[in-house]
Amino acid sequence: MKKIIFNSLLLFAFLLLNNNNLKAQTAETGKPSIAVVDFDSRAHQMNQQQVIQYLINELIRIGQYEVMDKYDIEYLAKRDTLKLNGCFSKICLQDIGKRLKVDKMITGSISELGNNIAVTFRLLDVNKGVFEKMKTREFLLIQGNDFQMIRIVLNELFDQPNDKEIVDKLTKVSELDNSINNPYELRLQNDGPRMGGVFLTGVGASVLKAPEDKGGYAGGYGSVAAMFQFGYQFEKQYLNEGDFQALFEFVPMVTGLDQGRFIPSINFLNGIRNNTTGWEFAFGPNFSVGSYRDGYLDKDNNFIVDNVLKNPNGSNKFGSLKEEATSVGADIINRPDSRGDVTITTGFLFAAGKTFRSGKLNLPINIFCMPSTHGLRWGLSVGWNGKDRRTLRQD
């Protein structure tokens, strides 16, 4: 019996000391005390204990309150048989707050609403029995960013600054995809049609506008050597962190359909895109099909592909085109010519542009150029594509 009385007195002394310590800490720091006992995540799957511990850590980080330790709460709940689970109402929070002898109680909830996640927090004044502060905000339905969303709303509740860029990426559908607002294995699928025009300069322009009997294509639009292009872009993002995405692009194109020509080409591009501004840059090899032939330029700048210098009897004056070119001081060159053989040519393409957003629709606009010994080819392309989210990343 004496042992039971002694243990009871010891327990009473401990609780009295603990309560006095809490009051002393509050008086010493000048901060009101606060406790977290529950968080409603029934409408959105989260580990409740992890959330409560995260809230305690965040309240300590904010530093406006003396935060009651969760082990003290668990001990008092067990001792006094307090039911903490499901304590979200004003009456319950005030009752538990008085028993815990704290000044404030905080509770909140996270729930899915259609394509959004809503996070709400309420701060109760235990003595007055009223919610003195409340804050709620809706976010995009993005998995893996729940704690970041909770931090944003807590900061707003206690007038703490937030990173505007992170808030925008979690709340605005107009933001470009990045590792925050699209944490998926196959993130933004930029696959989509591309179309535009290509303009030629130098020898390429001359050949395009020349008549066919002189090796040209009799094409272009008046004084402008230009053709229409149509194709499709296949894109894979292999890096998507922070402000940038690293891209691999495969773009097959067909040129000249508007002028009765079929000129296929394939581009393999490696690029980088800024998630904040939408500006991008890419470069890589180009493979295309065209007609080329050997010949030389005469004094009138005509491209000669057959022997034209004749003997009096009408036979060729020289045994080969090369000998004929040497006789007039010209070199044999290989250049585009409609009378030539079809062959595969290579080049190196540079492209730059900007992607605009309209909801889930992306509108890329790009300019490109490809230098060569036959002149510069440059052009403008536009297109569209959208999101296609698949597997959530596990990293």
Determine, yes or no, domain membership for 184. Answer: no
Give phi and psi for 119, each to the nearest 5.
-120, 130
Same domain, 70 and 124: yes
User: What are 10's two structure tokens?
Assistant: 């010891």
Domain count across the chain: 2
What digits encode the pLDDT tens for the residues 297-335?
Answer: 998 888 999 988 888 888 888 889 999 999 999 999 999
Whether the CB-CB separation of 234 and 248 falls below 8 Å is answered with no
Q: Which letter, b or e, does each residue of 170-183 get, where b requires 16 or more Cβ atoms within 10 Å of its Cβ? A: bbeeebbbbbbbbb
Alpha helices for the chain (secondary structure H):
2-29, 48-62, 70-79, 90-100, 146-157, 164-171, 202-209, 321-327
How far is CA 249 from each of CA 136, 238, 389, 393, rounded to the nearest angstrom? 41, 11, 18, 21
pLDDT of residue 139: 93
Of the candidates 41, 76, 75, the residue with the CA atom closest to the CA atom of residue 55: 41
Whether pLDDT at 392 is above 50: no
Determine, yes or no, domain membership for 349. Answer: yes
pTM of the predicted model, to two decimals? 0.59
- For residue 15, name the pLDDT band (cuts at 50, 70, 90): very low
Same domain, 125 and 242: no
CA–CA separation, 167 and 150 (whole Å): 11
The helix/strand/coil state of 197 is strand
User: CA angle, corner 379, sides to 373 and 382, nearest 5?
Assistant: 150
Same domain, 149 and 246: no
Determine, yes or no, domain membership for 2. Answer: no
Whether the CB-CB separation of 68 and 35 falls below 8 Å is answered with yes
Same domain, 149 and 297: no
How far is CA 319 from each of CA 110, 293, 315, rounded to the nearest angstrom? 88, 18, 10
Same domain, 154 and 211: no
CA–CA separation, 83 and 349 (whole Å): 69
Q: What is the CATH number of the domain that holds 232?
A: 2.40.160
Given 140, 171, 202, which residue is the final one in a domain? Answer: 171
Same domain, 246 and 374: yes
Q: Which amino acid is at 388?
A: D
CA–CA separation, 180 and 171 (whole Å): 11
Determine, yes or no, domain membership for 187. Answer: no
In the chain, how long is the greatest CA-to-CA distance? 142
The helix/strand/coil state of 380 is strand
Same domain, 198 and 337: yes
CA–CA separation, 152 and 147 (whole Å): 9
Residues 6+ apart with CB under 8 A from 324: 296, 304, 307, 308, 309, 316, 317, 318
Same domain, 158 and 207: no
Determine, yes or no, domain membership for 181. Answer: no
Work out the burial of residue 223: count CB atoms within 10 Å of its CB; fewer than 13 is exposed, 13-18 middle, 19 or more buried. exposed
Percent of the chain surpassing pLDDT 90: 51
pLDDT of residue 3: 53
CA–CA separation, 195 and 218 (whole Å): 23
Determine, yes or no, domain membership for 322. Answer: yes
Same domain, 260 and 348: yes
Q: How many CB atoms lie within 10 A of CB 139?
A: 22
Same domain, 235 and 378: yes
Domain of 267? 192-386
Same domain, 251 and 164: no
Residues 6+ apart with CB under 8 A from 59: 34, 36, 65, 67, 106, 154
Determine, yes or no, domain membership for 125. Answer: yes
CA–CA separation, 233 and 178 (whole Å): 20
Determine, yes or no, domain membership for 35. Answer: yes
- For residue 279, name the pLDDT band (cuts at 50, 70, 90): very high
Residue-by-residue DSSP string for 211-267: -GGGT----SBTTB-EEEEEEEEEEEEEEEETTEEEEEEEEEEEE-GGGT--EEEEE
What digits encode the pLDDT tens for the residues 116-127?
Answer: 899 999 999 999
Same domain, 279 and 326: yes
Q: What is the CATH number of the domain that holds 52?
A: 3.40.50.10610
- Lowest mean pLDDT segment, chosen from 7-16, 57-66, 195-204, 348-357: 7-16
What digits encode the pLDDT tens for the residues 193-230?
Answer: 999 999 999 999 999 999 988 899 988 888 789 999 99
